[in-house]
Amino acid sequence: MEKKTIFDLGRDTVEQYRARRKLPLTVVLDNVRSLNNIGSILRTCDAFLVERVMLCGITATPPSAEIHKTALGAEDSVAWEYHADTVEAVRSLQAEGYTVCALEQVKGSVELSSFVPQSTERYAIVAGHEVNGVDPAVVDACDRCIEIAQYGTKHSLNVSVSTAIAVWHFFNALFLNGRE
């Protein structure tokens, strides 16, 4: 098989991408410390038409060479904004009508595979710090918690990996299966 070229892939320009209809999903990063993880999440959000990313607390913002290393330009295509306080960001999303879901392992969380996003709603996923996860005060402010079932010896996934899995779940449910 012959690998596709950049021309075969037919990618949008940044301007075309910005004009496209987006998935009704916002990703919130709560104190994510690794610039490489931030860049990777931005790149995933570009791939699956996430409407925006909220960078909160100690989460770094573009421009940054380290973010660019993994974002590969997605920091320019994906809408992002900075918020000093994640709880305030969550509350502003709720005021806009979003259902805010902490991506966290807590008692009472719903397994991601069992969570069915509704096409009539807008959602936000909150992903947290690489070691400490989503801050408990942020978890308490969210509408629900979702978690990714895991069956190995480790108790968690890298924040960029777990965010990508969750974004794909929403993209598959809201975009591939009925929205477009």
145-177 pLDDT per residue, tens: 999 999 999 989 999 999 999 999 999 999 987
Q: What are phi and psi of 127, to 5 degrees?
A: -110, 145
Confidence (pLDDT) at 180: 45
Confidence (pLDDT) at 179: 46
Run of H or E including 163: helix 159-171
Confidence (pLDDT) at 5: 85
- The full set of domains in the chain, from first to last, is 14-176 (3.40.1280.10)
User: To which residue do tokens 């949008």 refer?
Assistant: 12
Give the start-end residues of each E strand in the chain.
Answer: 23-30, 50-56, 80-83, 98-103, 110-111, 122-128, 144-147
DSSP secondary structure code for residue 112 in this structure: G
1-59 pLDDT per residue, tens: 999 987 888 889 999 999 999 999 999 999 999 999 999 999 999 999 999 999 999 99
87-146 pLDDT per residue, tens: 999 999 999 999 999 999 999 999 999 999 999 999 999 999 999 999 999 999 999 999
